[in-house]
Amino acid sequence: MTRTVFTIGHSNHRIEQFVALLEMHGITALCDVRSKPYSQFHPQYNREPLKKSLRERGIAYVFLGKELGARSEDHSCYEHGKVQYDRLARTDLFRAGLDRIRNGTEKYQVALMCAEKEPLECHRTILVARSLEELGFDVHHIHADGRAESHAQALSRLIRLLRLSADDMFSTRELAVSDAYRIQAERIAYQTDAPTRGDGRGVAG
């Protein structure tokens, strides 16, 4: 049986509005995939206040930022100071995070949460949802207006935004999707302040 996982960005929603979006889609467990579970400008999404608000509405909360966050602590996942999503997706820690989601879906309707309003601007889509889809999950992204966009629809939208071709004799949708993931990952992946060598170690100067 195919299991469905949702994703959502907390953006600047009032907490009541955010919880209502979750309830609209029957979410019973929220997995926080932010590397740091805090918001400078929206304190209602700091871990403890958020956990309390969710608990009051019967929604479980789990922090998976260490496993599935965009700011990896594994130096081997960096190239010149930038996270490489393909490397990150192959780490044992990341795979363990996916296992926790898989196990969680046996009991809960799960949504992955990060900060960005637009799913295409967030690693929850370009990294985590991609990996979940490869494992056979049906992934949908909850937008601010309440509608749910399938991951396939989101990728089609990304292909159009990047003006990639998927329909001519020189390309296929599969190649367009691969290019879209690569280009968007390069654009949004976390970049450290200090440059690093290809092996992830910092350089002097």
- pLDDT tens digits, one per residue of 43-102: 999 999 999 999 999 999 999 999 999 999 999 999 999 999 999 999 999 999 999 999
Q: What percent of the chain has pLDDT over 90?
A: 88
Compute the distance between CA of residue 131 and CA of residue 157 in angstroms, rounded to an integer. Answer: 19
Domain range for residue 15? 4-188
Q: 149-153, 155-159, 164-168: lowest mean pLDDT where?
A: 164-168
Domain assignment present for 198: no
CATH label of the domain that carries residue 118: 3.90.190
Domain assignment present for 163: yes
**Which residues on adjacent β-strands are paired with residue 113?**
8, 32
The average confidence (pLDDT) of the chain is 92
Domain assignment present for 203: no
Domain assignment present for 193: no
Summarize pLDDT for 4-38 with one digit per residue, the tens. Answer: 999 999 999 999 999 999 999 999 999 999 999 99
Whether residue 56 contacts residue 136, with contact meaning beta carbons closer than 8 Å, is answered with no
Q: What is the pTM of this model?
A: 0.90
CB atoms within 10 A of CB 142: 22
117 Cβ partners below 8 Å, 6+ apart? 9, 11, 12, 144
Q: 58-62, 104-108, 169-173, 185-189: lowest mean pLDDT where?
A: 169-173
Domain assignment present for 90: yes
Domain assignment present for 15: yes
Residue that has been written with the tokens 């969680």 in this structure: 104
Compute the distance between CA of residue 29 and CA of residue 54 in angstroms, rounded to an integer. Answer: 9
* The total number of structural domains that make up the chain: 1
Domain assignment present for 98: yes
